[in-house]
Structure 1
């Protein structure tokens, strides 16, 4: 260890020193400018998520994609994030969150551009996976920068504003995406990430300051990375493929068994690794563990249930992409409002009460949306969307602070990765499990409702095509010469079968939200906020 030299003589000493945030010269490293910069980068990821949701029906039609293909556009992205997030957080802890954030921004923007030029479902899915990998670098690095830049008394406020910015970009996504899809094409929803990424890169180069703790890791746990990545991949893969293979199929069971074995081996290895990928000592904090489980359950219910909302609005109600985006505004708008308010409230009273109440709001919204019908009016759907947004904002802010705030500073990146991994794994599992439940329900309801309408039997191949259409609520055009009454009966059968599956999915999501409210009882504010440690 070299002798420290006064800052006036050596502007950038090679060893970290403990300072208060914002003590550096100029604008570089200023906490609020850091927040602005990382929020812009994360906005690109949030914007992409909602834009793609609105574009999914058009992608399906234009590329002739099946429901499984459309799910893979989402699941491939989520799977890549889930597999890579914790490792990416460790990379940020090791090499610096600033560098990791900038690489993530560039890679995400480039992958988005390539998707726009792709002309096949396989190309879209492949580069959605790459988007996920670069997003994995970006997301935990952003939280690591916030954790290191803000003192304890300001961290909740910063995360609240960060959540509001994400909510704003989420709100803009359906509108911007709808306008682009309707007036240009679905490819343009990916091209829009390029200018956003370029601006985030420029701001990051000039405004972000490298933050590393004195006890930052110096090596990588390669066996741990391999075991954890394999475990999560096999788990999500088995759940995605189970509807196609069958839940009792040998392939499904094999992947689940391999996943469980890898998780067990990962835990055993982490106990003896000199520099573990995910230090198990972090989970001695009951609050951190509860926050992680809460994030998984929240994402399971929300992302799994909301996956089919765009199909409901566009295919059942016949809305355009722009109209469906407008109808989602109550959801994202309430997230914008509730996130900063939740940050201030949690700072005053702690996370436990607000999180329990917020998850109960989510549960009420989920149960409410389970009652949607093909002719449900705008007022009712907007009401449930608003209640859902009112609950989601505090959960996002509170659970994030509980996880990141209760982790030691030297593991801030890993904690950020854990928070994002919990959300992405939960979302992927929710989409897969609730999607499978919905498909099963539709497959059962469709023949029953078809018989009730006394419609003529269909050949097996036609029946399978009709099931695929019903799973996304899309009534195919009736053959030429079909009587109007028969065509209307077919449409009614398809829509009512879809609604039957949608209702089941939201009931299950509501039950999960109630369980999450119970988990929220064990949360509390971070205990490791001892002040940022940064390079000056």
Structure 2
């Protein structure tokens, strides 16, 4: 059984106070509030910046390939550094790691807001991703240390609800700030949030760490894992542009596999490995990691297309699209704490399986959406999706973190977040490729059906296909009859919806596989932290 120690600044500091007697330092619920404020920045940033990207491109004169890296650079840094960041928390304490992450995230946000060119924006977005990676595993490590085993799932449920609320608020807040203030304000908003997280952290957090945590870093292991993760995520990001059979894509993905094999071999020999292979002897933990990958593949990969569906097919403004997604994210906010309660009573297996089956049903339902689907039908499937995904995120997180020893809680938190990032990136790329192929197949027929003349210019035809993959109809030419304009838009939108339907069907199959995998999960069996009264 892992032993833990509490670090205080005073050598003769008294034992941790009982929260019920009025002490604030180390209070479990105040710890939850503090880490939720910090992680809220990372979750908010995941969706709020997407709304600002078109304006950033216009104001800074960025090329399409450059504006892509405003998002890709951030996600790449986040994915590559998450597990190492968890190890840093295990070694130096999750409180210090969390505070450095919060301050660094806010500082880089300010630097982005003051940047005068796109290159500077991308550079600080990469740094922002590194600091964001410090925050997330540290938050889970602090929760693991603050809550006893029987309350950990409840804490993770509320934590998941905060992430859901922040994700839901991103498009709405981002749209309002971009429309009424400036694109810089999208980043400046992180400054007060970061300062609040810092103040609360200094006031509330108590550093809990295991006595037998590793005292040295596995530098070769960190190098192999980081380069391998970079090759994997970079290859996935670039595959839709290069092509899955392109030599560059195969080089990066093949290199990632080779580096991961070398990493695993090294971990078996290293004196103090970054990720002890014994960690994966736990079948529930291994199943939880794979479950997180499959869940993120299905959920983030499929939901990626919904924003284009709402904005380009239905013609909604970003703020309106965000409002239409509130049934889903609202159910995640409500469902995450309820999932925590259910998991506390019956364990994670049944809630996760039911959640993935609900998600499968939602994906099948969303595959039936067409160009004329109304708000009521969309909201029905969005509600089902939010209810389904909540117990999966909460349950899989509890399974991964709860089944790891306390001295590896940071690494386990990093594994959980890295699995989600890799799964989401892979789902977006793979489903995007399938959708693009489907759109390319059906577009010529849909274009010819209303009697539109074929596009003779190969370059124009390629631009038409690329626009159709996002649901963007070609602009009307001067003097073009409205009937022809409507026919072009209809052909493009029908082709987009056909591709989106295929993506949802494949996502449903992946979600069903994840439901079966849930049979291998069970409640964390390791000591979850101090036995405090809450």
Structure-1 separation of matches of 2:465 and 2:63:
11
Structure-2 separation of matches of 1:290 and 1:422:
11
Structure-2 separation of matches of 1:530 and 1:316:
48
Q: 2:159 aligns with which of 138, 162, 178?
A: 162
**Equivalence for 1:490:** 488
Change (3 A) 1:11 1:226: closer
1:250 correspondence with 2:256 = no
1:101/1:137 contact within 8 Å kept? yes
Q: Which moved more, 1:458-467 or 1:379-388?
A: 458-467
Structure-1 separation of matches of 2:76 and 2:268:
26
Structure-2 separation of matches of 1:35 and 1:25:
17
1:503 correspondence with 2:501 = yes
Structure-1 separation of matches of 2:408 and 2:157:
21
**Equivalence for 1:12:** 11
Deviation of residue 134 (structure 1)? Answer: 0.9
* 1:67-216 mapped onto 2 (5 Å cutoff): 72-118=69-115, 122-216=119-213
1:234/1:259 contact within 8 Å kept? yes
Structure-1 separation of matches of 2:400 and 2:366:
30
Structure-2 separation of matches of 1:485 and 1:62:
35
* 1:307-456 mapped onto 2 (5 Å cutoff): 307-456=304-453
Unpaired runs of 5+ in structure 2? 1-6
1:21/1:150 contact within 8 Å kept? no
Instruction: Indicate the SS of the match to 1:12.
Output: coil
CA distances 1:353-410 after superposition (whole Å, capped 9, x unpaired): 0100001111111111111112110001111111110011111111111010100000
1:299/1:427 contact within 8 Å kept? yes
Structure-2 separation of matches of 1:509 and 1:102:
37
CA distances 1:121-161 after superposition (whole Å, capped 9, x unpaired): 55444433222211100000000001011111111111111
Structure-1 separation of matches of 2:530 and 2:468:
54
Structure-2 separation of matches of 1:466 and 1:250:
27
Structure-2 separation of matches of 1:255 and 1:273:
26
1:464 correspondence with 2:462 = yes
Instruction: Indicate the SS of the match to 2:268.
Output: helix
Deviation of residue 19 (structure 1)? Answer: 6.6
Change (3 A) 1:530 1:44: closer
State the Cα RMSD in Å. 2.5
Q: Which moved more, 1:385-394 or 1:108-117?
A: 108-117
Change (3 A) 1:445 1:60: farther
1:235/1:259 contact within 8 Å kept? yes
Structure-2 separation of matches of 1:483 and 1:493:
16
Change (3 A) 1:70 1:499: farther
Structure-2 separation of matches of 1:436 and 1:411:
37
1:475 correspondence with 2:441 = no
**Equivalence for 2:280:** 283
Deviation of residue 55 (structure 1)? Answer: 4.0
Deviation of residue 25 (structure 1)? Answer: 8.7
Structure-1 separation of matches of 2:71 and 2:48:
12
2:16/2:25 contact within 8 Å kept? no
Deviation of residue 22 (structure 1)? Answer: 4.8
Instruction: Indicate the SS of the match to 2:208.
Output: coil
1:50 correspondence with 2:40 = no
Deviation of residue 23 (structure 1)? Answer: 9.3
Structure-1 separation of matches of 2:494 and 2:432:
17
Change (3 A) 1:187 1:435: farther
Unpaired runs of 5+ in structure 1? 1-6
Instruction: Indicate the SS of the match to 1:247.
Output: coil
Structure-1 separation of matches of 2:117 and 2:371:
32
Deviation of residue 13 (structure 1)? Answer: 5.3
Change (3 A) 1:120 1:440: farther
1:269 correspondence with 2:270 = no
Instruction: Indicate the SS of the match to 1:212.
Output: strand
Structure-2 separation of matches of 1:72 and 1:371:
33
Structure-2 separation of matches of 1:474 and 1:20:
59
Instruction: Indicate the SS of the match to 1:211.
Output: strand
1:19/1:533 contact within 8 Å kept? no
1:40 correspondence with 2:34 = no
CA distances 1:288-342 after superposition (whole Å, capped 9, x unpaired): 0111111111111111111121111111111112211110110111011111111
Deviation of residue 214 (structure 1)? Answer: 0.4
Deviation of residue 452 (structure 1)? Answer: 2.7
Deviation of residue 281 (structure 1)? Answer: 0.7
**Equivalence for 1:4:** none
Q: Which moved more, 1:517-526 or 1:466-475?
A: 466-475
Change (3 A) 1:74 1:426: farther
Structure-2 separation of matches of 1:144 and 1:62:
40
Change (3 A) 1:209 1:330: same
1:21/1:532 contact within 8 Å kept? no
Q: Tell me the TM-score normalised to structure 2 length.
A: 0.92
Deviation of residue 463 (structure 1)? Answer: 1.8
1:18/1:533 contact within 8 Å kept? no
Change (3 A) 1:232 1:518: same
Structure-1 separation of matches of 2:245 and 2:273:
35
2:236/2:425 contact within 8 Å kept? no
